[in-house]
Amino acid sequence: MAKEHILVVDDEEDILELVRYNLSKDGYRVSMVMSGEEALKAARTTQPDVILLDLMLPGVDGLEVCRLLKQDPKTQHIPVIMLSAKGEEADIVTGLELGAADYITKPFSPRILLARLRAVLRRRATETVSESAPLAIHDLVIHPGRHEVLVKGQPVDLTVTEFRLLHMLARRPGWVFTRSQIVNGVHGDDYPVSDRSVDVQVVGLRKKLGVCGDYIETVRGVGYRFKE
């Protein structure tokens, strides 16, 4: 049974109880708080493995809580999964930009919640893998040290930008990256490239990858992710 500690932050008691019941049933240790201030205090003192964070909180809201957590060396390593009402696309994008690992829209299925949580925990466990380590995903092999990509054993000629984009996504399968995060990750902060240029780069990359092009998924209104 899983023994990870999950901190759940929501000001709705029925949501807290629903999440607590399903996480506990799956073997997780669960702590619950109902405000942003309590969330910050609990994160620093208990060091949970993952934080499930509602965006609409009294006082300090979820976006601000996420920003403060990611600025604090004591808590910046803790993955944050945001909970958001449907249609709050701008908040979701902002949350990802602030460092959230994923988001779940309300109302949500407990099974989806558990699946997303497990995915984040798996990614957390593999994040220590060296950036220079080769990646093999089905028919696709990426060799960072050699700057080489193989599809079904055949080399694919990628530009530096395309290679960096592919490697960034492939290192964290299932992780959603916004266009701005991709620009910053590939080119560096303040690089004069529009978010829409990322779409063009992705289209070109998919074509070059051929049968592996479908590994790169579009997350409508947010950005892109690599299939798990």
Q: H/E element holding 40?
A: helix 36-46
Confidence of residue 130 (pLDDT cuts 50, 70, 90): low
Note the pLDDT of residue 72: 85
Shared domain check, 112 and 49: yes
Tell which residue, 85, 71, 109, 76, has the closest CA to residue 10: 85
The DSSP output letter for 216 is E
Residues in contact with 118: Cβ distance below 8 Å, sequence separation at least 6, in sequence order: none
Shared domain check, 71 and 42: yes
Confidence of residue 1 (pLDDT cuts 50, 70, 90): very low
Q: Does the model's pTM come out above 0.75? A: no
CATH of the domain at 26: 3.40.50.2300
Q: Are 156 and 208 in contact (CB under 8 A)?
A: yes
Average pLDDT over residues 114-133: 76
**Residue 204 clears pLDDT 80, i.e. is over it:** yes
Average pLDDT over residues 143-167: 91
32-41, 44-53, 125-134: which range is least confident on average?
Answer: 125-134
C-alpha 39/C-alpha 32 separation (Å) is 9
Which residue bears the tokens 């798990």?
A: 228
Number of structural domains (the chain) is 2
Shared domain check, 70 and 36: yes
The C-alpha torsion from 186 through 192 and 196 to 198, rounded to 10°, is -20
Which structural domain, as residue segments, surrounds residue 100? 5-126
Shared domain check, 88 and 13: yes
Q: Are 106 and 84 in contact (CB under 8 A)?
A: yes
Shared domain check, 112 and 181: no
- H runs (alpha helix) in 127-226: 160-170, 179-187, 195-209
* Tokens of residue 32, six digits: 């619950």
Provide the CA 166 distance to its chain's centre, in angstroms: 16
Shared domain check, 106 and 171: no
Shared domain check, 50 and 94: yes
Average pLDDT over residues 153-163: 91
Average pLDDT over residues 64-89: 85
CATH of the domain at 191: 1.10.10.10
